[in-house]
Structures are given as C-alpha cells and as structure tokens.
Amino acid sequence: MTIPVPMKTQQLALIRPLFGPSAAVAVCDPDAKPPAPLPEEAVGLSATAVEKRRREFAAGRSAARQAMTQLGMAPQAIPIGPNRAPVWPKGVIGSISHTRGCAAAVAARSGEDILAVGIDLEADSPLRERLLPSVCTDAERDWLQRQCDPGQMAKVIFSAKEAAYKCQYVLSGQYFGFGGMELEVDITENRFRAQFTADQPPFAKGQHILGRFAIGAGYIITAAELRLTE
C-alpha cells in the first residue's frame, strides 16, 4: 500500500531547492485555520476583504514567521506598507506568496550573501490567452510558439516576472509593468533570467535577475534571488 505524501511536504520539496542554503522557506495551508495575523498586520487588511483573502493573508504571515524562526530569530509582525508590500523586520529580507491551497514565504538575514528574494505561486494552468499581450514581450511570444505547452510556459513567464519584480522591488521601490523585464527560460535546467528593458535605479537597462522554477503538485513555483556575488 502506497502512503500518500502530505501536500505540505510536497510543496516544501518543490520550493526548498529553488533557494540557496542561507534562505529559510516555509508553507502554510490557508484552508487549515492558520493562526490569526498579529494586530499590526490585520490593521492593513481592508474591512471588506472576503474570507478567502483573510485566510490567505493569515497563512502567508504564519509561513513568514515560521521562516524567521528557522533563521533563529524571534517571530515578529510583518505589516502591510503604504505600497501594499510586506514590511519585514529590521535585519530580515523576505517574500510572501499565496494561491489556492498554499501560502509560502522565504526569509534570509540581511547583510549576508543574499541581497533580495522573491517568490511566486500559481496554479498549474495555462495563462489566459487575453493576458498574453500584456504579460509577454514579442520575443517571449515567439519563444512560446516553439514550446510543447505554450499555455503552461506562458504561466511560468508570468510567475517568474512576479518573483523577479518582488525581488527587485526590495532595492528599487519601483513599480513597472510586465514589459519592464524580458525573460530567457531554460526548460532543461528549470532556470530563468529576467533582464531589465529600461533603467530602474539602482538597476540599469540590461542588468538581470536570476531565478529558478518548479512545476508539481498542481503548482507553478518561481523563485528569484539577488546575491552579492552576482
């Protein structure tokens, strides 16, 4: 008799190899009554937020505190900033993502080998056709036409840009559209390279962020890291 592998174990097994050893990762199930967010966190939620949004938010913060615990740090509040991005405690860099059935967080100590991180979770389903023009550049769409499953790979591009965007935002504080980065995807190594298509200080046009992706257990998971050695 085959014993099924718990979903949480499957999710961690997919995410953990996407980041270096100095980063901590954790997951939490939004549907399993995650711990309530701390008061400093909950105040940032809209009063009209639906229950699904509240559960996913709570699960994301719970995963983030679990990751901080793995780093040997006391769990602390991660409120929502004025720009809606998570505000991590001093000395920590991190990223949070959630989708149906899973919330995940990655955290690392600032000032070590990692400058910034980004994570994104998406359902393993094709990207909606109507989103292609806004998500993918002409070069990316040409590449998709040569793939066996262009819908799935378009979702990988979408997710990878989300992860890379979160990663760069730690340093730039800049908002820009999907066209602000162009991806090269290596499907044999499950890696990607997100190159800036315009200056986004402190990043210059042509600079890039490296990342990895995994597909499994019904999810597409992408991870981006900026390291001191890059």
Torsion angles phi and psi, residue 164, rounded to 5? -65, -35
Q: Which residues contact 216 (CB under 8 A, 6 or more apart)?
A: 10, 14, 124
Q: How far apart are CA 114 and CA 112, in angstroms?
A: 6
212-229 residue pLDDT tens: 999 999 999 999 999 876
33-56 residue pLDDT tens: 888 988 998 888 887 889 999 999
180-219 residue pLDDT tens: 999 999 999 999 999 999 999 999 999 999 999 999 999 9
The torsion of the CA quartet 84, 89, 92, 93, rounded to 10 degrees, works out to 10
Domain architecture of the chain: domains with CATH = 23-112 (3.90.470.20), 124-227 (3.90.470.20)
Query: Considering the entire predicted model, what is its pTM?
Result: 0.93
Query: What is the mean pLDDT of the segment spanning 140-146?
Result: 97
